[in-house]
Amino acid sequence: MKTLTLTVLAAEDGMILKNWLRSHNISTRTTVKLKHYGRILLCGEPVTVRAIVHSGDVIELRFPDDKKPAEAENITVPVLYADENVIVMDKPAHMPVHPSKDLQSGTLANAFASFAESRGHRLAFRAVNRLDRGTSGLVVVALDQISASKLAGKVDKEYLCVCHGEIPETGRIDQPIRRKEESKMERCVAPDGQKAVTNFRRIYTNGEISVALVTLETGRTHQIRVHFSYSGFPLVGDTMYGYADAFLDRQALHCLSVNFTQPISGEIISVKSEMPDDIRAYLAENNIKLNSGDKK
């Protein structure tokens, strides 16, 4: 059973517990689940949602174990940050984030299940951000429903990418994206697509290859890959939107850093990942040296 502990603030004194829960992004559905399958404790005592809360009261929400977590597997994926509500995992390239109908093992969800079991929990895999199978880097995972709700759409991410061509020093690509009609996976820029905005800052170019730091205003599937390809600068190794590379067997894209507000304490959390070995080796192979001030 997963326990979430919260403290009533002075400004919340005298609220009905039901309204207090709602003010903390705890949905009616979640409250019902707590009432029937978990427990709500006020200062250590079970209560109903009609109870009145006061400043300094400690409220414990005890959630039952999730019924269908992914199968735990002994997969080594670095956890770069962990607290009681959220962890940040450093996903390697070629690893799917979620299991699918045809692939039930070897995913980040399986690695997460093993991590959760090591802490004595059986938890659903609640990835707040997602990465393509070939993209490496940071994935933020919420450990409970409330944290997932509070973090949704509120994680700032910075990516490092390597692309063909000489991109501008800075740029903003504002082009709508939708799924290609003839494909289940591939996306394209199209007037009837969903709004998609990508910002980038070049940190290196030799005229033929560029390295950039990228941030997103939206989170469309394959957004960076589609936007860079549409602009004439496909990512190195991206066989879907560019062409294969003899040295790099996946798109040169890595989620380098994430920033978010811890959903319970309100603390600002910043996590950074190292440049993966295969991209680092690709740069070395092409005699590309980034300045010491650039992110590596």
Contact between 142 and 81 (Cβ < 8 Å)? no
Q: Which is the catalytic residue, given 66, 90, 132, 245?
A: 132
Specify the long-range contacts of residues 28-32, CB closer than 8 Å, at least 24 apart: 30/145, 30/146
132 labelled catalytic:
yes
Q: Which residues are catalytic?
A: 132
